[in-house]
Amino acid sequence: MDGNGRWAQRRGLKRTEGHAAGEEALVDTAYGALSMGIEVLTVYAFSTENWRRPVDEVRFLMNFNESLLKRRQHELHADGVRIVFSGRRDRRVPRRVLANMEEAEALTARNKVMTLNMAFNYGGRAEIVDAVRRLVDEGVPASKIDERSIRSRLYHPEIPDPDLVIRPSGEHRISNFLLWEMAYSELVFTDVLWPDFRREHLFEAVEEFQQRERRFGGLDK
C-alpha cells in the first residue's frame, strides 16, 4: 500500500494523513476482491524496515492498525472474511496491538469467503529466516531440507502463492514483499498512489493478469 506519503505531501498534509486516507482504499479493494470471488488478498501494511521511520509515524501506524481493526473487524467478519497477520510478532509491536491482532484472528478464524492477510512487521527475508530457524529448532537434518519443508514453515503455509502482485505508486520494486511466495507471480505496476486506489484499479490489474500467459518455467502448450 505504497504512496501514502506522496499523496499527503501533494496536498500539503502530514504523511500520517496519507496513511489514514489509505484506509478507504484498503476497504474498497477488499470488498472489490470479495465481489469477484478472490480467495486471498494480502496487503503490505508495515515492513520490518519501516521501523526506521520517525518515531511519530511508527507510533501512528501501530495505533492505526489497532483502531482500523477495532472499527472494521465486525463488518468484515459479518461478510465472511478471515483476518490473519503475517510477520514477526516481536517485542517491538506493542502488546496491546498484538492482543488486538490475535482478537481479530480469533473472531474471524472460521470464516471461509475470503482471507485478508495483513503483512505487518513483515519482511520477505525475515520470513525465510524464521522458517529456517524453525527447521533448525525442530532438528530437521540438512538432507531433509527442501522447498516443501521450507514452504510449510512460512507464516501461513495454507495460503497459496499469489497469482498476481500489484505495486502501486509508480515504483518498480519488490521491496522485500513475499519473496518466497512470488517466485512465479504475475506483476502489475500502476502509478496510482495507494490512497487513490479503488476496486476499479484491482479489476484493471486482474484484466491485465488474464492476458498473461503463465508457463511456470515450462514451454508453451
Pick from 3, 87, 123, 162 the residue near ligand FPP by CB under 6 A.
Answer: 3
List, by residue number, the catalytic residues. Answer: 2, 50
* 168 belongs to the binding site for ligand FPP (CB under 6 A): no
Of 44-52, 134-142, 147-155, 180-188, which part binds ligand FPP (CB under 6 A)? 44-52
Q: How far is the CB of 104 from ligand FPP (least distance, A)?
A: 11
CA pair distance 191, 221, nearest whole angstrom:
34
* 64 belongs to the binding site for ligand FPP (CB under 6 A): yes
Q: Could you tell me which of 159, 196, 169 has the C-alpha nearest to residue 28? A: 196
**Pick 13 or 132: Cβ nearer ligand FPP:** 13
DSSP conformation class of 173: -
Which cell numbers in the block locate residue 123? 519482511
Q: Could you tell me which of 80, 120, 81, 115 has the C-alpha nearest to residue 100? A: 120
Which cell numbers in the block locate residue 198? 479503488
Q: Which residues bind ligand FPP (CB under 6 A)?
A: 1-6, 15, 19, 22-23, 26, 45-46, 50, 61, 64-65, 68, 169, 194
